[in-house]
Amino acid sequence: MADVDAELAQMARVLNVADLDNHPGGARLAAMVRSMAADGRGRGDPIREIFGRLGDKWSTLLLLLLGAGPFRHATLRRLVGAVADEARISQRMLTLRLRSLERDGLVDRRVTPTVPPQVEYALTAMGQDLLAQVEGLMDWVRRHHAAILAARARFHDSGPED
C-alpha cells in the first residue's frame, strides 16, 4: 500500500496539485494506479503478458484461426500463410506462439497416439472467451474505420507539430 500511496503522491506532484482529488481527472488516475498495483506490473504478470501477446505479430491471428476449429500444426502454418500479408510464419515461430498460448491456458494441445503422433491445437473455453473480446475490439475498429482513416489524413495533411 505504501508504494501505491507514493505513486499517488508522485502523480499529484506531476500535476502540480496538493491532492489528486484537486484535479479533474484525479479520481480516474488514482483508480488506474490502484488497479495497476492489484493487477501487477511485472514482466511476467498476466495482464501485461496477455496484452503483449495480443500485440505480437502472430498470436491474435492464431486465435482467430483456431476460432474456426481445431487444426494440426502444418495446417495452421498453411492457413497463416494464406491470410497473412507478412512473410509466412516459420515452423519455429508457430511452435513458440502456440506454446505461449497453451501456457496461458488459451490453447489446448491434443496428441493422438498414432505412428507418427498427431498433434492438434484448439481453443480452450478461456481462449474462446478472449477471442470474443478480440472480435468485439475488431467490431469497434470496423465501426470507426472511416473516422480513423479521416483522422490519419488530417494528421498527415497538417503534419506533426513537435
**pTM for the full predicted model:** 0.82
φ/ψ (deg, to 5) at 89: -80, 135
pLDDT digits (tens, 9 = 90+) for 98-142: 999 999 999 999 999 988 889 999 999 999 999 999 999 999 999
pLDDT digits (tens, 9 = 90+) for 31-63: 988 888 888 877 788 888 888 889 898 999 999
How far is C-alpha 54 from the geometric centre of its chain's CA atoms? 3
